[in-house]
């Protein structure tokens, strides 16, 4: 059994800050976890939105666009192979990729920005 971090430590402060921002997502990816993160994020009320009317290819395209946006690559008509123009994937922020991809999913669904759900968060 691991020890609890010292409440005066940096580790404890960091874990607390992450929990405030990410809610339960800071600790688990369990599908039944509550939507208790920041309201405007996928961990909060905005994340309750069901994905509708998109194909798996649409979702894949949104992921490509999320990567490209995070890398600062903006093309009028991007293609899958544009992923291979990203100089160093290690320089990308994984959180930014996810956030960009979910915003593209909302765009494809015609509901961007999806802030009505954010207002419903506790």
pLDDT tens digits along 14-45: 666 666 666 776 677 888 888 888 888 888 88
**Could you report the per-residue pLDDT of 47-84, keeping only the tens digit for each?**
999 999 999 999 999 999 999 999 999 999 999 999 99
Residue with the bigger pLDDT between 103 and 27: it is: 103
Q: Are residues 63 and 91 in the same domain?
A: yes
Confirm if 32 and 20 have CB atoms less than 8 A apart: no
Q: Are residues 10 and 47 in the same domain?
A: no
CA dist., res. 122 & res. 118, Å (int): 9
Q: What pLDDT shows up at residue 59?
A: 98
Q: Are residues 83 and 96 in the same domain?
A: yes
Q: What pLDDT shows up at residue 120?
A: 55
Residue with the bigger pLDDT between 6 and 78: it is: 78
The count of other CB atoms within 10 Å of the CB of residue 93 is 11
Q: Are residues 6 and 49 in the same domain?
A: no
Q: Per-residue DSSP letters for the chain?
A: -PPPPPTTSHHHHHHHHHHHHHGGGGT---TTS---S-TTSTTSGGGGPPP-S--HHHHHHHHHHHHHHHTT---SS--GGGGGG-S-GGGS-HHHHHHHHHHHHHHHHT--S--HHHHH--
Residue-range definition of the domain harbouring residue 11? 1-33
Task: Give me the mean pLDDT over the 112-122 stretch.
Answer: 68
Residues 6 or more apart whose CB falls under 8 angstroms from that of 92 comprise 67, 70, 71, 86
Q: Are residues 49 and 78 in the same domain?
A: yes
Q: Are residues 41 and 82 in the same domain?
A: yes
């Amino acid at each position: 059994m691991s020890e609890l971090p010292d409440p005066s430590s940096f580790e404890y402060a960091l874990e607390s800050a992450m929990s405030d921002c990410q809610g339960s997502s800071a600790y688990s990816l369990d599908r039944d976890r509550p939507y208790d993160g920041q309201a405007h994020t996928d961990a909060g009320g905005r994340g309750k939105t069901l994905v509708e009317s998109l194909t798996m290819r649409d979702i894949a395209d949104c992921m490509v666009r999320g990567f490209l946006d995070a890398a600062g690559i903006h093309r009028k008509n991007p293609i899958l192979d544009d992923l291979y123009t990203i100089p160093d994937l290690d320089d990308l922020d994984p959180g930014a990729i996810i956030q960009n991809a979910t915003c593209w999913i909302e765009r494809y669904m015609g509901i961007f920005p999806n802030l009505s759900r954010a207002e419903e968060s506790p």
